[in-house]
Amino acid sequence: MRLFQEAMAVFKTLVKDFRIVFERDPAARSWLEVLTCYPGFHALVFHRVSHWLWALGLPFVPRLISHLARFLTGIEIHPGATIGSGVFIDHGMGVVIGETAIVGDYALIYQGVTLGGTGKESGKRHPTLGDNVVVGAGAKVLGNIQIGHNVRIGAGSVVLREVPSDCTVVGVPGRIVFRSGERVDALEHGRLPDSEAQVIRALVDRIEALEQQVGDLQPPAEQPIFVIASASTELREALTPASCRIKDRVIEEFLDGSGI
């Protein structure tokens, strides 16, 4: 009787995993397409079974199922990992979830994500994710750390410290960025500020202010202003030191590319 109840609980969880695909992925058009063409859903099906057998203490078989799932889907989930209901692994190639990892309900995980450890320590050594967490493509969450509810982890970030609920994390290593007053949609994990570009912008502004102060303190140099003003673009560039032009162009291209 207990085994039947546990099997029914696994089935209900799989139903939630199936339904959440249509809410999270606009490309999902039919139930047949999801059942046959979504490796993230397939990996969760394999994991639900292997985790159930793992909890029963059955040796070897859960790891074999996990290995077969990795071969078929490109997603490696240790059978000991605990994954909540309504989880969606989008695309999923290269996703790795460690043995003691815990993933809350309705998490959204993109391809290339690693929920891993940082060494050979025993016991709880993998992260714990709260509910409604979004982990962007290629992000790494490492160690026995707690990630709160409604956290957004930007693509390519490396998170090594605990993150409170309702925060956004970006960068390497991951830094918390508060988005006050702006709602971050679960599918718009790419709409994240570039903290490195913001720091560089602040430094550039500071340098420009200091250069202006130094220029105000120096006596005006005698320059043929009328020649520069009336010169062509090629001549003005020739009169400008090459190093300044290169540095300014590199800085502007970096800042413009970052959307700032």
Q: Which domains does the chain have, with CATH numbers?
A: 2-177 (2.160.10.10), 195-257 (no CATH)
- Condensed to tens digits (0 to 9), the pLDDT of residues 17-67 reads 888 888 888 888 888 988 899 999 999 999 999 999 999 888 899 999 999
Give residue 221's pLDDT: 59
Residue type, 119: G
| Distance of alpha carbon 105 from alpha carbon 125, whole angstroms | 20
Q: Find tokens 């074999």 and name the residue.
A: 64
Give residue 184's pLDDT: 45
Q: Where are the beta strands (DSSP E) in 102-148?
A: 102-103, 108-109, 114-116, 128-129, 134-135, 140-142, 146-147
Helices (DSSP H) in the chain: which residue ranges? 2-24, 31-37, 39-55, 61-73, 195-217, 225-230, 233-239, 242-257
Q: Find tokens 């696994």 and name the residue.
A: 10
Give residue 246's pLDDT: 47
Instruction: Determine phi and psi for 97, rounding to 5 degrees.
Output: -125, 120
Give residue 188's pLDDT: 57
Give residue 243's pLDDT: 46
Residue ranges in the chain whose pLDDT is less than 70: 1, 4, 178-197, 220-260
| Distance of alpha carbon 204 from alpha carbon 211, whole angstroms | 10
| Distance of alpha carbon 173 from alpha carbon 160, whole angstroms | 7
Q: Find tokens 């047949």 and name the residue.
A: 32
Give residue 113's pLDDT: 95
Give residue 235's pLDDT: 54
Give residue 181's pLDDT: 38
